[in-house]
A and B are shown apart, each in its own frame.
Chain A
Amino acid sequence: MMRAVDAIMECLKAEGVDVVFGYPGGANLPTYDAMYDSGIRHILVRHEAGGGHAAEGYAKASGKVGVCFATSGPGATNIVTPLTDAMMDSVPLVFFTGQVRTDLLGTDGFQEADTFGITMPIVKHSFMIQHPTEIPRVVHEAFHIARTGRPGPVLIDMPTDLTRVEIDYQPVGDVRLPGYQPTTEGNQKQIRLAAKAMANSRRPVIYAGGGVINANASSELTELALLDHLPVTCTLMGLGAFPAPHEQWLGMLGMHGTRTANYAMDEADLIVAVGARFDDRITGKLSEFAPRAKFIHIDIDPAEISKNVPAHIPIVGDAKNILGRLVQEYRGLEPEPARLAEWWDRIEQWRVQHPLRYEDSTDSEIKPQHLVQALYEATNDGDCILATDIGQHQMWAAQYFHFSKPRRWIQSGGLGTMGFGLPAAMGAAVAQPELQTVVLSGDASIQMNMQELSTLATFGIPVKVVIMNNGYLGMVRQWQELFWDGRYSAVEMSEWPDFVKLAEAMGCHGVRLTDKTTLLDDLRAALAVDGPVVIDARVTREECVYPMIAPGQAARNMVG
């Protein structure tokens, strides 16, 4: 016999959980009492949103399930944003929330919120504990659901009285969920069809998304591309799935993707979508998206097939499994590489005519794009985990920081959550302590969760925080400049706070960089400092991210 909360700790250990991010409160006191001598590492964040995003960063960097604890009421509502973020980006998480005692449920008790109801549309699944004896089975079901199929967040809401009850704990063996049977094996006939279509295509493009990263299928994807010299583009979520820079790499596609990638999609005769969901930031105007192409769509989630763009050859299953078998089939067909010569000539033309470019400053001013390039160089060609927040800096990082490996790029793609970067970087650094972890943020985004700087200091997590500081909500300013007649409404961030002083107050090292001529050396020096560092890099104030597909426009009408 043991308390249900002690059984939870046993379950966590059985699931291989080595760290939990969280915040205690009244309703999860029993959980924290069990935590006390569980031997599981706990990172006390400064806000539950920070804990949720840290769990996301941990999951994205490691591929394991991230875990976060929060109390009832405000603790639970504070994790709504990380839950939604994880749902949009298919991040495997299990969140445990405290709930008021069962006799208080529904009475508007102190710190009561309908967590189960509030979070229902933003979780892959959720559980409301009814009986203490079901807790161990529920915990294992939650982990199983979070990590298998299309990964996602799972929430367990636990009335505090039920968690204190002594139960007869027996380790749980197999999880059986009759209503949850994700398809992992792709259909062999469909795979063969796909290979035959690819081998006959003249203008193919592989379009890979975050699903490739989630499936750990980067090497299979790369093998497929190299087999027949196929051009590859990735979504924002997919960066790192194919090694960049590479001769077959077209750059990212979509709203701020390269012209080469977007034009290739526009003229392609066959698009091989892998673990990607044809988001509006990719397709632009849907009716004019890739008008000449047939689509092979590989995805673990059947509901993504033909949701936005009708698929000609749908293949439902795990990308690693399917790509591995597709390589086999494809190799057997001995495709004729010469048929792609004309296509590559066309691509080469675009590359020469439309490289990513910006006008560098002629004085010592730091251009934001230059800051990203310098950061790439200062980290030995991106040998680090790079997290970002949301906005211009994120797009420039996607464009100029070449990701050669999966799980090195941690950002919020679908939801676009400002404040994600710092805590997510913290989680990533905890997951991969042997790697350097850098977060590139903006002066606006960083302020949305900057309380976590003191978490970094407290736990000695050596994240390097680079703030691309232009004193604006840069991306909103850009849209106001381009689409709202330059009427800058509520986008000035002013000069406060003083990020160097703030860093020091939070127990981090702070440094301000303003001079392009010494930027690289200064960055290297700051990155070499032990412990957490905040680098306030002042950049050109009004710079726009280009090229760009204006919202609702077709890819071939890119501007800038």
Chain B
Amino acid sequence: MGEPGTKELLSLEDLEAASGVRTGRKHVLSILVENKPGVLTRIAGLFARRGFNIDTLVVGPTDDDALSRITLTVDGAMHPIDQVTKQLHKLVNVLKIRDLEPDEAVAREMALFKISADAGSRGEIMQVVEIFRAKIVDVQRRTVIVEVTGTHDKVEAFERMVRPFGMVEMARTGEIALSRGRGET
């Protein structure tokens, strides 16, 4: 019914509403913005105002001085992701938004963990560090600081492994990402 180029009418029963769907997964949005005052505030304010939760947010330079890249992760179970991106697109300083599909992109985050470590436990911690290809970047008498880089899941797994030793504190960057292949993100 209703084929283009014909005069055949369209049955209303055939119509379906498409958007506004909650995908139920985490989305990584890569947002290219003009490097101007207030841009980050605009984005953060938009999320707060519309009730969208930001899981992580990373801002950094790009190869173009005039532009910055913001990588943020949002929970697609909580919010219709198309509404989030459409609202972001309305910001004049936002040039481009990519909703990166997990298998078409490389995403990494970095974390620093300060872990209780005495002579007795240090060896065991070093084994875990080895397995995760992490790095000990500071050693003190009673603590070590470990640097881990990898996917979100890997960092989570590392955290689970070392927590029983006694987590003194930690800092995580949140994810940054680029799309695979020749095309620009």
Chain A contact residues, CB within 8 Å of chain B = 116-117, 120-121, 124-126, 128, 130, 145, 177-180, 189, 192-193, 196-197, 199-201, 269-270, 294-295, 301-303, 305-307, 310-314, 332-334
Of the candidates A121, A145, A269, A313, the one whose C-beta lies within 8 Å of that of B45 is A121
Which residue of chain A has its CB nearest to the CB of B85?
Answer: A303
In the bound complex, what is the Cα–Cα distance between A332 and B4 (angstroms)? 13
Which residue of chain B has its CB nearest to the CB of A334?
Answer: B7
Q: What are 19 sample pairs from A and B whose C-beta atoms fall under 8 A apart? A: A120-B38, A125-B92, A126-B38, A178-B95, A179-B33, A179-B95, A189-B4, A197-B2, A197-B15, A270-B12, A303-B87, A303-B89, A306-B20, A306-B83, A311-B17, A312-B17, A313-B15, A332-B7, A334-B7
Of the candidates B11, B20, B41, B94, the one whose C-beta lies within 8 Å of that of A310 is B20
If A120-B41, A270-B12, A307-B83 touch, whether A193 touches B2 (CB-CB below 8 Å) is yes
Query: B2-38 vs A: 1/0 string, CB under 8 Å?
Result: 1010011111100111111000000000000110011
Q: Are A120 and B2 in contact (CB under 8 A)?
A: no
Q: Are A179 and B94 in contact (CB under 8 A)?
A: yes
Q: Are A192 and B19 in contact (CB under 8 A)?
A: no
Is B90 on the interface with A (CB-CB < 8 A)?
Answer: yes
Which residue of chain A has its CB nearest to the CB of B37?
Answer: A128
In the bound complex, what is the Cα–Cα distance between A201 and B2 (angstroms)? 13
Q: Are B19 and A200 in contact (CB under 8 A)?
A: no
Is B42 on the interface with A (CB-CB < 8 A)?
Answer: yes
If A197-B10, A312-B17 touch, whether A179 touches B93 (CB-CB below 8 Å) is yes
**Residues of chain B within 8 A of A312, CB atoms compared:** 15-17
In the bound complex, what is the Cα–Cα distance between A199 and B2 (angstroms)? 11
- A403 to chain B minimum Cβ distance, whole angstroms, is 30
Q: Are A201 and B12 in contact (CB under 8 A)?
A: yes
Which residue of chain B has its CB nearest to the CB of A270?
Answer: B12
In the bound complex, what is the Cα–Cα distance between A452 and B49 (angstroms)? 33
Is B182 on the interface with A (CB-CB < 8 A)?
Answer: no
Known: A125-B92, A179-B34, A196-B2; 9 extra A-B contacts, CB below 8 A, are: A117-B38, A121-B46, A192-B4, A196-B10, A197-B15, A294-B12, A311-B19, A312-B16, A312-B17
Is B54 on the interface with A (CB-CB < 8 A)?
Answer: no
In the bound complex, what is the Cα–Cα distance between A196 and B4 (angstroms)? 10
Of the candidates B42, B87, B94, the one whose C-beta lies within 8 Å of that of A120 is B42
User: How many of chain B's residues have a CB under 8 angstroms from any CB in A?
Assistant: 35
Of the candidates B11, B38, B80, B87, the one whose C-beta lies within 8 Å of that of A200 is B11
Which residue of chain A has its CB nearest to the CB of B49?
Answer: A121
Which residue of chain B has its CB nearest to the CB of A269?
Answer: B12
Which residue of chain A has its CB nearest to the CB of B7?
Answer: A333
Is B170 on the interface with A (CB-CB < 8 A)?
Answer: no
Q: Are B41 and A117 in contact (CB under 8 A)?
A: yes
Is B86 on the interface with A (CB-CB < 8 A)?
Answer: yes
Of the candidates A125, A180, A294, the one whose C-beta lies within 8 Å of that of B15 is A294
Q: Are A303 and B83 in contact (CB under 8 A)?
A: yes
**Residues of chain A within 8 A of B167, CB atoms compared:** none
**Residues of chain A within 8 A of B92, CB atoms compared:** 124-125, 145, 177, 179-180
**Residues of chain A within 8 A of B90, CB atoms compared:** 301, 303
Closest CB pairs A-B (n = 10)? A310-B17, A200-B9, A196-B10, A303-B86, A312-B15, A306-B19, A306-B20, A197-B10, A125-B92, A179-B95
Is B168 on the interface with A (CB-CB < 8 A)?
Answer: no
In the bound complex, what is the Cα–Cα distance between A333 and B8 (angstroms)? 8
Is B91 on the interface with A (CB-CB < 8 A)?
Answer: yes
**Residues of chain B within 8 A of A192, CB atoms compared:** 4
- A311 to chain B minimum Cβ distance, whole angstroms, is 6
Most buried by A among B11, B15, B45, B83: B15
- B91 to chain A minimum Cβ distance, whole angstroms, is 7
- A375 to chain B minimum Cβ distance, whole angstroms, is 39
Q: Are B8 and A196 in contact (CB under 8 A)?
A: yes
Q: Are A130 and B19 in contact (CB under 8 A)?
A: no
Q: Are B12 and A128 in contact (CB under 8 A)?
A: no
**Residues of chain B within 8 A of A301, CB atoms compared:** 90
- A199 to chain B minimum Cβ distance, whole angstroms, is 5
Most buried by A among B16, B17, B20, B38: B17
Q: Are B12 and A302 in contact (CB under 8 A)?
A: no
- A193 to chain B minimum Cβ distance, whole angstroms, is 6
**Residues of chain A within 8 A of B41, CB atoms compared:** 117, 120
In the bound complex, what is the Cα–Cα distance between A180 and B88 (angstroms)? 11
In the bound complex, what is the Cα–Cα distance between A192 and B1 (angstroms)? 13
In the bound complex, what is the Cα–Cα distance between A306 and B19 (angstroms)? 7
**Residues of chain A within 8 A of B10, CB atoms compared:** 193, 196-197, 200
In the bound complex, what is the Cα–Cα distance between A44 and B93 (angstroms)? 34
Which residue of chain B has its CB nearest to the CB of A307?
Answer: B83
**Residues of chain A within 8 A of B46, CB atoms compared:** 121
- B110 to chain A minimum Cβ distance, whole angstroms, is 29
In the bound complex, what is the Cα–Cα distance between A200 and B89 (angstroms)? 35
Q: Are B86 and A302 in contact (CB under 8 A)?
A: yes
Which residue of chain B has its CB nearest to the CB of A201?
Answer: B12
**Residues of chain A within 8 A of B89, CB atoms compared:** 302-303
In the bound complex, what is the Cα–Cα distance between A301 and B86 (angstroms)? 9
**Residues of chain B within 8 A of A334, CB atoms compared:** 7
